[in-house]
């Protein structure tokens, strides 16, 4: 039974992770949080204390760490006695944090794929470029590493597994992510603009007819009619979970669709076409070297600042099609979250909430042994039912809609 938790990162998602760990510190143990800037960690712990979120008395300490240095991560794991590391730092640190876990034997959980600062949209399947290269080492050392355990990737992988298990044959998995909320700003991204835009500037890979295919952002759109949020346009986007699901279910077409309004697409298109979303430095007339994307990020609202005014709901789910008992069958497995509810509970907006709650559920499943696999796993490789059971209880209930209607997954 692993218990003590070290959270890496101090952004909007880390804030949710911290609150949820505190609310469940009877199942988990001592809590620690570390980032490049210790004061941000202190502020998060203060917000946990302000909400009186600790379920029982216990440790919650802030630390400074340079998570690009695996030896620093390993030293901090040893110092804190952490048995589970929830990595919700920037995607640039993933492999270094994983290395720190492998070195110390701590379990590793992250919510997004590793990225190198100067590369975008590498060869599919993306996980094979970095994470899966360490799979054999994790197995050999008995280290549990759960990759992509946020909402998407994460819960949507579990949605896919759940649906696939109910079918005789799976033909397609379409993941649809709609944020029908409103933050009231001219323009903002819901998480780190740098990571957000990087998702959309490169090749959009998807899996169809048992092969990788390519499109570009906003080139392939479809109107979806979803529970609660209604009819919404969404566009094929590159996303982590396509790469593991296509590997684990090669017989199915796997696509990811993200909802965007016309205004978002217009702003994105202008910035991209001018070159302002580039991660490659330009030189100003004065000779200063600057990465345009980092300047755009500095101009945009801090995603965490959106929370107090954010209203409306998100709907994220998987439409899975296949056959059952010789007939065509389809099922939509989904969650609806509310921005205002999230803010009231943990001081964060709904996008951070949906990303931050699932890795805590994963940590709880490692702590009780259910998901303590002793090797590297993507979420669809683990039993989804105990995951849904915890998520139902801690804020992200799973529902299904199929020919028999719309209901809780276990109804």
What residues make contact with its own copies under the rule CB under 8 A?
A: 186-187, 194, 266-267, 270-271, 273-276, 278, 282-286, 288, 290-292, 294-300
d(CA 289, CA 314): 39
Quick one: 266 or 410, whose CB is closer to its own copies? 266
To its own copies, the closest distance from the beta carbon of 281 in angstroms equals 9
d(CA 373, CA 366): 8
| Greatest extent of the chain over all pairs of C-alpha atoms, in Å | 69
Sequence-distant (6+) residues with CB within 8 A of 17 are: 7, 9, 86, 88, 356, 359, 360
d(CA 406, CA 411): 10
d(CA 246, CA 305): 36
Q: What is the DSSP letter of 307?
A: G
Quick one: 212 or 264, whose CB is closer to its own copies? 264
What would the two tokens of residue 114 be? Answer: 């590793």
Tokens 């998807």 — which residue?
A: 206
Q: Which of 384, 406, 32, 331 has its CA nearest to residue 166?
A: 331
In contact, 204 and 214? CB cutoff 8 Å: yes
Quick one: 198 or 243, whose CB is closer to its own copies? 198
To its own copies, the closest distance from the beta carbon of 410 in angstroms equals 42
Q: What is the DSSP letter of 288?
A: -
Quick one: 90 or 335, whose CB is closer to its own copies? 90
End-to-end CA, the chain: 31
Quick one: 251 or 269, whose CB is closer to its own copies? 269
Quick one: 52 or 288, whose CB is closer to its own copies? 288
To its own copies, the closest distance from the beta carbon of 290 in angstroms equals 5
| Alpha-carbon torsion angle 179, 181, 182, 186, nearest 10 | -10
To its own copies, the closest distance from the beta carbon of 282 in angstroms equals 4
Burial class (CB in 10 A: 0-12, 13-18, 19+), 38: middle
Q: Which of 119, 145, 126, 123 has its CA nearest to residue 134?
A: 145
Count, residues in the chain: 411
To its own copies, the closest distance from the beta carbon of 164 in angstroms equals 40
To its own copies, the closest distance from the beta carbon of 221 in angstroms equals 20
To its own copies, the closest distance from the beta carbon of 215 in angstroms equals 21
To its own copies, the closest distance from the beta carbon of 296 in angstroms equals 7
d(CA 267, CA 273): 10
Residue 374: count of CB within 10 angstroms of its CB: 13
Quick one: 119 or 263, whose CB is closer to its own copies? 263
d(CA 342, CA 173): 28
In contact, 318 and 332? CB cutoff 8 Å: yes
Quick one: 133 or 294, whose CB is closer to its own copies? 294
Element (H, E) at 316: strand 313-324
To its own copies, the closest distance from the beta carbon of 187 in angstroms equals 6
The secondary structure of the chain in percent helix, strand, coil, rounded to multiples of 5, reads: 40, 25, 35
Quick one: 23 or 201, whose CB is closer to its own copies? 201
Tokens 């209901």 — which residue?
A: 407
To its own copies, the closest distance from the beta carbon of 38 in angstroms equals 16
Quick one: 278 or 375, whose CB is closer to its own copies? 278
Quick one: 285 or 411, whose CB is closer to its own copies? 285
To its own copies, the closest distance from the beta carbon of 271 in angstroms equals 7
């Amino acid at each position: 039974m692993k218990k003590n938790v070290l959270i890496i990162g101090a952004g909007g998602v880390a804030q949710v992770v911290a609150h949820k760990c505190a609310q469940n510190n009877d199942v988990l143990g001592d809590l620690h949080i570390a980032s490049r800037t210790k004061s941000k960690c202190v502020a998060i712990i203060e917000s946990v204390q302000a909400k009186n979120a600790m379920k029982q008395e216990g440790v919650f300490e802030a630390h400074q760490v340079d998570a690009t240095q695996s030896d620093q991560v390993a030293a901090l794991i040893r110092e804190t006695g952490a048995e589970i590391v929830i990595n919700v730092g920037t995607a640039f640190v993933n492999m270094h944090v994983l290395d720190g876990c492998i070195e110390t034997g701590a379990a590793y959980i992250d919510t997004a794929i590793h990225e190198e600062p100067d590369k975008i949209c590498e060869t599919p399947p993306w996980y094979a470029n970095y994470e899966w290269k360490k799979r054999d080492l994790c197995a050999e050392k008995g280290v549990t590493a759960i990759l992509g355990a946020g909402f998407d990737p994460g819960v949507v992988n579990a949605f896919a597994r759940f649906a696939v298990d109910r079918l005789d044959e799976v033909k397609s998995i379409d993941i649809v992510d709609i944020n029908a909320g409103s933050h009231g700003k001219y323009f903002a991204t819901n998480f780190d603009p740098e990571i957000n835009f990087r998702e959309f500037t490169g090749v959009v890979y998807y899996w169809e007819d048992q092969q990788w295919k390519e499109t570009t952002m906003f080139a392939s759109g479809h109107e979806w009619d979803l529970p609660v949020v209604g009819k919404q346009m969404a566009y094929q986007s590159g996303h982590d979970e396509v790469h593991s699901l296509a590997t684990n279910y090669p017989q199915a077409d796997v696509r990811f669709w993200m909802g965007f309004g016309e205004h978002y697409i217009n702003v994105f298109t202008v910035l991209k076409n001018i070159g302002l979303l580039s991660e490659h430095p330009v030189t100003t007339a004065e000779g200063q070297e600057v990465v345009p994307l980092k300047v755009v990020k500095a101009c945009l609202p801090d995603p965490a600042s959106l929370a107090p005014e954010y209203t409306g709901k998100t709907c994220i789910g998987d439409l899975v099609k296949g056959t059952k008992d010789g007939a065509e069958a389809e099922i939509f497995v989904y969650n609806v979250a509310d921005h205002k509810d999230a803010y009231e509970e943990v001081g964060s907006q709904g996008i951070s909430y949906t990303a931050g709650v699932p890795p805590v559920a994963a940590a709880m499943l490692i702590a009780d042994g259910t998901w303590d696999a002793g090797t590297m796993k993507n979420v669809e490789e683990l039993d989804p039912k105990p995951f849904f059971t915890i998520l139902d209880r801690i804020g992200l209930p799973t529902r299904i809609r199929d020919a028999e209607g719309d209901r809780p997954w276990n109804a």
